Amino acid sequence: MSGQPYPNIDISAYHARAQCGDVDAMYLIGMHYEKRGQALENQKEAFGYYSKAAALNHPNAIAAVGRCYILGYGVEKNRELGISEIRRAALAGSVEGQLCLGDLLYGKEAVPRDLSEAFSWFEKAAAQGDHRAQYRIGVACTYGFGVEKDLSKAFDYFKLASQQGDIEAKLSLADAYTQGRGTPINHAEGFKLWLEAAQYGHPLGQHGLAYMYARGQGVERNIAEAIKWCEMAAERGLAQAQYETALYYYFGEGCEKDQSKAVKYFTAAAAQEHTQALFMLADCYYLGTGVEQNKGKGVELKIKAAQKGHPLALYQVGVLMLDRGSKELAVQCLSESARLGCNEAAEELSKLGLKGEMN
């Protein structure tokens, strides 16, 4: 649930203004204390100043009070009252109230989920120029949440939010230019936006930039740069980037082969349940590639990858089950592998006098 970005303020000057009845100062002091952290003293101060401003009908303060009740921030939790206050703020024209109410209606707790109404509140906030609401409308139009799917409209709203510096919107806009979603493909524009997001430090931006360098889209192909940015994203915990970085080091593409480093990144991605990373890590352990050989762990990881639907893992586990005499389980694995398009599994089933259905 959204809250307004916190401004840096001279708190002493605002205290003086608040004592003279300045409702905006009361609201900003509340934001100041909320920014200071989760200590109970800060929570109570924030709620107190929000309440003072709300009592004087400050719309955004009313929304903040509602948010505090929902979260139990500085006050005993009361979700019903919180939602009521947020709706009151939204009806009074508060951007924060409109945004929070939209988020609540998009969610799955307490408020009956109503994507259409949520979208209407985002539209109201977006009409007031709020970039967070503009981004949410872009997402809704991309996936058809509460509104008919419209990639062109999504692109327009992502662009509006991006122009205000919204980093998530920049990522979505970069992807739209790169993939041609709602706009003609424009790799040059896509590259600029990926670069902005990457330099901001966003792992998805870094990974997107690596993608552009690896394929020479919007920039001259440069595998060394692709690896650099992909590894940055990997170090920030992005599972797909960890997997791709591991592949670079595993095969030595554009860099010196370093299979122990590959295992490091396969392990990090596998810890996030990345299916392909699980499969590759299984092979590393089974064969002793870049790590001390441990066939038992290799089989364990292979089974885990198979359970997650990896076609080749299913095939290999199926063959292993045949070797162990577990024909029924083997046929299940081989059949699913063949269904997912694995030729080897279909051939193995044929040897058993069975027919594998492939997509």
Give pLDDT tens digits for 62-104. Answer: 999 999 999 999 999 999 999 999 999 999 999 999 999 999 9
Which residue matches tokens 């004592």?
Answer: 19
In a domain, 208, yes or no: no
Within this chain, do residues 12 and 73 fall inside the same structural domain, yes or no?
Answer: yes
Within this chain, do residues 169 and 77 fall inside the same structural domain, yes or no?
Answer: no
Q: Give the mean model confidence (pLDDT) for residues 180-188.
A: 98
Within this chain, do residues 96 and 121 fall inside the same structural domain, yes or no?
Answer: no
Q: What are phi and psi of 201, to 5 degrees?
A: 100, 10
Within this chain, do residues 162 and 69 fall inside the same structural domain, yes or no?
Answer: no
Within this chain, do residues 8 and 27 fall inside the same structural domain, yes or no?
Answer: yes
**Per-residue model confidence (pLDDT) at position 117:** 95
CATH number reported for the structural domain that contains residue 173 in this entry: 1.25.40.10
Q: What's the rounded Cα separation, in Å, for the pair 183 and 166?
A: 19
- Whether residue 115 has pLDDT greater than 90: yes
Structural contact between residues 136 and 122, judged by C-beta atoms closer than 8 angstroms:
yes
In a domain, 226, yes or no: no
**Per-residue model confidence (pLDDT) at position 109:** 62
Within this chain, do residues 71 and 120 fall inside the same structural domain, yes or no?
Answer: no
Residue from 228, 208, 230 nearest 217 by CA: 208
- With a pLDDT cut of 90, the percent of the chain lying above it is 88
Within this chain, do residues 48 and 145 fall inside the same structural domain, yes or no?
Answer: no
Question: Residue 16 is encoded by which pair of tokens?
Answer: 């003086």
- Whether residue 232 has pLDDT greater than 80: yes
In a domain, 357, yes or no: yes
In a domain, 195, yes or no: no
In a domain, 257, yes or no: no
pLDDT band at 108 (very low <50, low <70, confident <90, very high): low
Compare 14 and 333 and report the one with higher pLDDT.
333
Within this chain, do residues 34 and 94 fall inside the same structural domain, yes or no?
Answer: yes
Q: Find the DSSP H helices in the chain.
A: 11-19, 23-36, 40-55, 59-71, 79-91, 95-106, 115-127, 131-143, 151-163, 167-179, 187-200, 203-215, 223-235, 239-251, 259-270, 275-287, 295-307, 311-323, 327-339, 343-351
Structural contact between residues 263 and 240, judged by C-beta atoms closer than 8 angstroms:
no
Within this chain, do residues 93 and 130 fall inside the same structural domain, yes or no?
Answer: no
In a domain, 18, yes or no: yes
In a domain, 129, yes or no: yes
Within this chain, do residues 98 and 4 fall inside the same structural domain, yes or no?
Answer: yes
**Per-residue model confidence (pLDDT) at position 358:** 46
- DSSP per residue over 280-342, as a string? HHHHHHHHTSSS---HHHHHHHHHHHHHTT-HHHHHHHHHHHHHTT-HHHHHHHHHHHHHTT-
**Per-residue model confidence (pLDDT) at position 359:** 44
- Whether residue 354 has pLDDT greater than 80: no
- Whether residue 105 has pLDDT greater than 60: yes
Q: What's the rounded Cα separation, in Å, for the pair 229 and 199?
A: 10
Q: In the chain, how many domains are there?
A: 3
In a domain, 179, yes or no: yes
pLDDT band at 112 (very low <50, low <70, confident <90, very high): confident
Within this chain, do residues 75 and 13 fall inside the same structural domain, yes or no?
Answer: yes
- Whether residue 339 has pLDDT greater than 80: yes
Which range is least confidently modeled, 34-43, 145-154, 318-327? 34-43
pLDDT band at 157 (very low <50, low <70, confident <90, very high): very high
Handedness of CA 63, 66, 72, 74 (dihedral sign): positive
The residue segments making up the domain with residue 4 are 1-104
Within this chain, do residues 155 and 83 fall inside the same structural domain, yes or no?
Answer: no
Residues 6+ apart with CB under 8 A from 148: none
- Whether residue 132 has pLDDT greater than 90: yes
- Whether residue 61 has pLDDT greater than 70: yes
Chain mean pLDDT for the chain? 94
